[in-house]
Amino acid sequence: MLRIKSGLWGLVSVSIVGAASGCGGPQADDLGEASSALLAENGLAANGLAANGLAANGLAANALDTNGLAANGLADPMAHKFMEYVVSCALPAGHTVTYTQDDATYTFAGSIGVAPEWEQESCDGSCQRWVSACVLARLNKLGVHRQISIRGANPALAVTLHEMTDFPVREATYYGNLFQPNQPRYACLPPDATEIPRVCGDSLAGCAVVVPGECRSVCEHAGLFRTYSDCGTEPVTGHAADSYAETVTVFLAP
Protein backbone atom coordinates (compact mmCIF):
# COMPACT_ATOMS: atom_id res chain seq x y z
CA MET A 1 0.00 0.00 0.00
CA LEU A 2 1.20 3.45 -0.84
CA ARG A 3 0.51 5.87 2.00
CA ILE A 4 1.04 9.51 2.74
CA LYS A 5 1.00 10.18 6.47
CA SER A 6 3.12 13.32 6.48
CA GLY A 7 4.03 15.35 3.40
CA LEU A 8 2.95 14.57 -0.13
CA TRP A 9 6.62 14.22 -1.01
CA GLY A 10 6.56 10.99 1.00
CA LEU A 11 5.52 9.45 -2.30
CA VAL A 12 9.10 9.67 -3.49
CA SER A 13 10.52 7.21 -1.00
CA VAL A 14 7.56 5.18 0.25
CA SER A 15 7.50 1.46 -0.51
CA ILE A 16 4.72 -0.96 -1.43
CA VAL A 17 3.91 -3.05 1.65
CA GLY A 18 0.59 -4.62 0.71
CA ALA A 19 -2.71 -4.09 -1.06
CA ALA A 20 -4.99 -1.18 -0.19
CA SER A 21 -8.12 -2.12 1.70
CA GLY A 22 -11.56 -1.01 0.50
CA CYS A 23 -13.02 2.09 2.07
CA GLY A 24 -16.68 1.76 1.20
CA GLY A 25 -18.57 3.33 -1.65
CA PRO A 26 -18.96 1.96 -5.16
CA GLN A 27 -16.18 -0.01 -6.77
CA ALA A 28 -14.95 1.07 -10.17
CA ASP A 29 -15.20 -1.23 -13.17
CA ASP A 30 -13.09 0.64 -15.69
CA LEU A 31 -11.71 4.08 -16.33
CA GLY A 32 -12.44 6.54 -19.10
CA GLU A 33 -9.82 8.71 -20.76
CA ALA A 34 -8.78 11.85 -18.91
CA SER A 35 -6.76 14.85 -19.95
CA SER A 36 -4.18 16.75 -17.94
CA ALA A 37 -5.33 19.02 -15.16
CA LEU A 38 -5.45 22.64 -16.32
CA LEU A 39 -5.28 24.05 -19.84
CA ALA A 40 -2.03 25.84 -19.10
CA GLU A 41 -1.31 26.53 -22.77
CA ASN A 42 -4.22 28.99 -22.94
CA GLY A 43 -3.05 31.02 -19.99
CA LEU A 44 -5.85 29.98 -17.63
CA ALA A 45 -3.79 27.81 -15.29
CA ALA A 46 -4.04 30.38 -12.51
CA ASN A 47 -7.80 30.80 -12.44
CA GLY A 48 -9.21 27.31 -12.24
CA LEU A 49 -10.26 26.47 -15.80
CA ALA A 50 -9.98 22.68 -15.88
CA ALA A 51 -10.37 19.80 -18.28
CA ASN A 52 -12.60 17.38 -16.41
CA GLY A 53 -12.03 14.01 -18.02
CA LEU A 54 -12.08 11.92 -14.84
CA ALA A 55 -14.71 9.21 -15.29
CA ALA A 56 -17.25 8.84 -12.50
CA ASN A 57 -16.35 5.19 -12.12
CA GLY A 58 -12.68 6.07 -11.76
CA LEU A 59 -13.31 7.28 -8.24
CA ALA A 60 -11.82 4.14 -6.74
CA ALA A 61 -13.04 3.34 -3.24
CA ASN A 62 -9.81 1.48 -2.54
CA ALA A 63 -7.55 4.33 -3.60
CA LEU A 64 -7.76 6.07 -0.23
CA ASP A 65 -7.62 5.05 3.42
CA THR A 66 -8.16 6.90 6.68
CA ASN A 67 -4.43 7.68 7.01
CA GLY A 68 -4.20 9.54 3.75
CA LEU A 69 -3.64 8.66 0.14
CA ALA A 70 -3.19 5.00 -0.75
CA ALA A 71 -2.85 3.19 -4.04
CA ASN A 72 -2.97 -0.50 -4.82
CA GLY A 73 0.11 -0.29 -7.02
CA LEU A 74 0.53 2.65 -9.35
CA ALA A 75 0.85 0.31 -12.32
CA ASP A 76 -2.94 -0.02 -12.03
CA PRO A 77 -4.31 2.55 -14.54
CA MET A 78 -7.20 3.37 -12.22
CA ALA A 79 -4.94 4.20 -9.28
CA HIS A 80 -2.57 6.04 -11.58
CA LYS A 81 -5.31 8.23 -13.03
CA PHE A 82 -6.78 8.90 -9.62
CA MET A 83 -3.35 9.99 -8.36
CA GLU A 84 -2.99 12.31 -11.34
CA TYR A 85 -6.15 14.15 -10.39
CA VAL A 86 -5.42 14.27 -6.67
CA VAL A 87 -1.92 15.70 -7.20
CA SER A 88 -3.05 18.11 -9.92
CA CYS A 89 -5.75 19.43 -7.59
CA ALA A 90 -3.53 19.63 -4.52
CA LEU A 91 -0.31 21.16 -5.86
CA PRO A 92 0.27 24.28 -7.96
CA ALA A 93 1.67 24.28 -11.49
CA GLY A 94 5.38 23.61 -11.69
CA HIS A 95 5.35 21.19 -8.75
CA THR A 96 5.59 17.45 -9.32
CA VAL A 97 5.64 14.21 -7.37
CA THR A 98 7.72 11.29 -8.64
CA TYR A 99 7.37 7.68 -7.57
CA THR A 100 9.34 4.61 -8.67
CA GLN A 101 8.03 1.07 -8.54
CA ASP A 102 9.49 -2.04 -10.19
CA ASP A 103 11.92 0.07 -12.23
CA ALA A 104 9.05 2.16 -13.58
CA THR A 105 8.90 5.87 -12.76
CA TYR A 106 5.65 7.80 -12.45
CA THR A 107 5.47 11.58 -12.28
CA PHE A 108 2.35 13.46 -11.21
CA ALA A 109 2.11 17.15 -12.01
CA GLY A 110 0.43 19.82 -9.92
CA SER A 111 -1.82 22.37 -11.59
CA ILE A 112 -4.54 23.94 -9.46
CA GLY A 113 -2.94 24.12 -6.02
CA VAL A 114 -5.84 24.04 -3.55
CA ALA A 115 -3.62 22.35 -0.91
CA PRO A 116 0.03 23.33 -1.53
CA GLU A 117 0.88 22.66 2.12
CA TRP A 118 0.60 18.94 1.42
CA GLU A 119 4.13 19.01 0.01
CA GLN A 120 5.60 19.53 3.45
CA GLU A 121 3.04 18.41 6.01
CA SER A 122 0.11 16.10 6.57
CA CYS A 123 -3.16 16.78 4.79
CA ASP A 124 -5.52 17.80 7.62
CA GLY A 125 -9.30 17.93 7.46
CA SER A 126 -9.53 21.19 5.55
CA CYS A 127 -6.84 20.08 3.10
CA GLN A 128 -8.66 16.79 2.52
CA ARG A 129 -11.96 18.55 1.87
CA TRP A 130 -10.45 21.03 -0.61
CA VAL A 131 -8.73 18.29 -2.58
CA SER A 132 -11.88 16.17 -2.50
CA ALA A 133 -14.12 19.00 -3.73
CA CYS A 134 -11.70 19.71 -6.56
CA VAL A 135 -11.56 16.07 -7.66
CA LEU A 136 -15.35 15.67 -7.42
CA ALA A 137 -15.85 18.79 -9.53
CA ARG A 138 -13.84 17.16 -12.30
CA LEU A 139 -15.83 13.95 -12.55
CA ASN A 140 -17.39 13.14 -15.87
CA LYS A 141 -19.93 10.38 -16.38
CA LEU A 142 -18.43 9.34 -19.72
CA GLY A 143 -14.85 10.44 -19.18
CA VAL A 144 -15.31 13.06 -21.90
CA HIS A 145 -12.95 16.01 -22.04
CA ARG A 146 -14.77 19.26 -21.39
CA GLN A 147 -13.63 22.64 -20.19
CA ILE A 148 -15.12 23.80 -16.91
CA SER A 149 -14.59 26.78 -14.65
CA ILE A 150 -14.09 25.80 -11.01
CA ARG A 151 -14.59 28.50 -8.39
CA GLY A 152 -14.52 28.73 -4.62
CA ALA A 153 -13.11 30.52 -1.60
CA ASN A 154 -9.69 28.88 -1.95
CA PRO A 155 -7.02 31.39 -3.17
CA ALA A 156 -6.08 28.98 -5.97
CA LEU A 157 -9.57 29.32 -7.44
CA ALA A 158 -9.50 33.05 -8.12
CA VAL A 159 -11.51 33.89 -11.23
CA THR A 160 -10.96 36.44 -13.99
CA LEU A 161 -13.55 38.57 -15.77
CA HIS A 162 -12.74 36.71 -18.99
CA GLU A 163 -13.54 33.39 -17.36
CA MET A 164 -16.76 34.64 -15.82
CA THR A 165 -17.87 35.90 -19.23
CA ASP A 166 -17.01 32.71 -21.11
CA PHE A 167 -18.39 30.32 -18.48
CA PRO A 168 -21.62 31.82 -17.10
CA VAL A 169 -23.74 28.68 -16.63
CA ARG A 170 -23.73 27.49 -13.01
CA GLU A 171 -23.83 23.69 -12.94
CA ALA A 172 -23.50 22.53 -9.31
CA THR A 173 -21.47 22.88 -6.12
CA TYR A 174 -19.33 19.91 -5.03
CA TYR A 175 -18.10 18.92 -1.58
CA GLY A 176 -17.17 15.89 0.50
CA ASN A 177 -14.18 14.01 1.85
CA LEU A 178 -12.65 11.19 -0.20
CA PHE A 179 -10.20 10.51 2.62
CA GLN A 180 -12.84 9.15 4.98
CA PRO A 181 -13.72 5.45 4.97
CA ASN A 182 -17.25 5.99 3.65
CA GLN A 183 -16.15 8.65 1.14
CA PRO A 184 -18.97 11.20 1.53
CA ARG A 185 -19.51 12.78 -1.91
CA TYR A 186 -22.09 15.51 -2.51
CA ALA A 187 -23.27 18.03 -5.05
CA CYS A 188 -26.04 20.60 -4.67
CA LEU A 189 -27.91 22.24 -7.52
CA PRO A 190 -28.45 25.85 -8.60
CA PRO A 191 -32.02 27.21 -8.45
CA ASP A 192 -34.56 25.24 -10.49
CA ALA A 193 -32.00 22.68 -11.75
CA THR A 194 -32.94 19.01 -11.53
CA GLU A 195 -29.96 17.20 -13.06
CA ILE A 196 -26.18 17.20 -13.58
CA PRO A 197 -25.73 15.50 -16.98
CA ARG A 198 -21.93 15.92 -17.08
CA VAL A 199 -21.45 14.06 -13.81
CA CYS A 200 -24.57 11.93 -13.40
CA GLY A 201 -25.87 11.34 -16.91
CA ASP A 202 -29.60 11.31 -17.65
CA SER A 203 -30.65 10.71 -14.05
CA LEU A 204 -29.48 11.46 -10.53
CA ALA A 205 -30.20 7.83 -9.67
CA GLY A 206 -26.97 5.93 -9.22
CA CYS A 207 -24.87 9.08 -9.53
CA ALA A 208 -21.32 9.08 -8.15
CA VAL A 209 -22.36 11.97 -5.88
CA VAL A 210 -25.36 12.35 -3.59
CA VAL A 211 -27.55 15.35 -4.45
CA PRO A 212 -29.34 16.57 -1.29
CA GLY A 213 -31.19 19.39 -3.08
CA GLU A 214 -30.73 22.98 -4.20
CA CYS A 215 -27.69 24.83 -2.86
CA ARG A 216 -29.80 27.69 -1.53
CA SER A 217 -31.53 25.15 0.72
CA VAL A 218 -28.56 23.10 1.95
CA CYS A 219 -25.81 25.76 2.04
CA GLU A 220 -25.53 28.41 4.73
CA HIS A 221 -23.78 31.06 2.66
CA ALA A 222 -23.65 32.39 -0.88
CA GLY A 223 -20.08 33.31 -1.80
CA LEU A 224 -18.41 35.50 -4.38
CA PHE A 225 -18.92 34.84 -8.07
CA ARG A 226 -22.19 32.95 -7.46
CA THR A 227 -20.59 30.20 -5.40
CA TYR A 228 -21.81 28.57 -2.18
CA SER A 229 -20.10 27.50 1.05
CA ASP A 230 -20.92 25.68 4.28
CA CYS A 231 -23.02 23.14 2.44
CA GLY A 232 -24.53 20.08 4.08
CA THR A 233 -26.67 17.04 3.51
CA GLU A 234 -30.11 18.47 4.33
CA PRO A 235 -31.92 21.82 4.39
CA VAL A 236 -30.28 24.41 6.61
CA THR A 237 -31.91 24.94 10.01
CA GLY A 238 -28.87 26.47 11.69
CA HIS A 239 -25.18 25.62 11.56
CA ALA A 240 -24.91 21.92 10.79
CA ALA A 241 -22.08 19.89 12.27
CA ASP A 242 -21.63 18.01 9.01
CA SER A 243 -21.50 21.05 6.72
CA TYR A 244 -18.53 21.63 4.43
CA ALA A 245 -16.90 25.05 4.18
CA GLU A 246 -14.58 23.77 1.44
CA THR A 247 -16.74 23.70 -1.69
CA VAL A 248 -16.12 24.03 -5.42
CA THR A 249 -18.76 25.45 -7.75
CA VAL A 250 -18.55 24.49 -11.44
CA PHE A 251 -19.56 26.81 -14.27
CA LEU A 252 -19.97 25.74 -17.89
CA ALA A 253 -19.86 27.51 -21.22
CA PRO A 254 -23.30 28.11 -22.84
Contact 138, 250 (CB under 8 A): no
Q: Distance between CA atoms of 164 and 243, rounded to whole angstroms?
A: 27
Res 106: pLDDT = 81
Q: Distance between CA atoms of 56 and 69, rounded to whole angstroms?
A: 19
Q: Which one has a higher pLDDT value, 95 or 79?
A: 95
Q: Distance between CA atoms of 113 and 16, rounded to whole angstroms?
A: 27
pLDDT at 62 over 50: no
Mean pLDDT, range 123-133, rounded to an integer: 92
In this structure, how many other beta carbons lie within 10 angstroms of the beta carbon of residue 156?
22
Is residue 3 in a domain? no
pLDDT at 240 over 50: yes
Is residue 152 in a domain? yes
Q: What is residue 146's three-state secondary structure? A: coil
218 to 39, 133, 213, 234: CA distances (angstroms): 32, 16, 7, 5
pLDDT at 6 over 70: no
Q: Running DSSP on this structure, what letter comes out for residue 72?
A: S
Domain residues for the domain of 170 are 8-252
Q: Running DSSP on this structure, what letter comes out for residue 109?
A: E
Q: Cα 152 to the chain's mean position, in Å?
A: 13
Single pTM value for the model: 0.78
Give the dihedral of Cα atoms 60, 118, 223, 159; nearest 10 deg.
-100
Least confident interval from 34-43, 88-97, 221-230: 34-43
For residues 20-32, b (16+ Cβ closer than 10 Å) or e, as one string? beebebeebeebb
pLDDT at 137 over 70: yes
The fraction of the chain above a pLDDT of 70, given in percent, is 68
Least confident interval from 147-151, 212-216, 223-227: 223-227
Q: Which one has a higher pLDDT value, 174 or 40?
A: 174
Q: Specify the number of domains making up the chain.
A: 1
pLDDT at 27 over 60: no
Is residue 212 in a domain? yes
The fraction of the chain above a pLDDT of 90, given in percent, is 34
Res 146: pLDDT = 82
Question: Helix 125-137 to helix 77-90 angle, to the nearest 10 degrees?
Answer: 110
Q: How confident is the model at residue 155 (pLDDT cuts 50, 70, 90)?
A: very high
- Element holding 137 (H helix, E strand): helix 125-137
Output the average pLDDT for the chain: 73
Least confident interval from 31-40, 73-82, 205-214: 31-40
Is residue 76 in a domain? yes
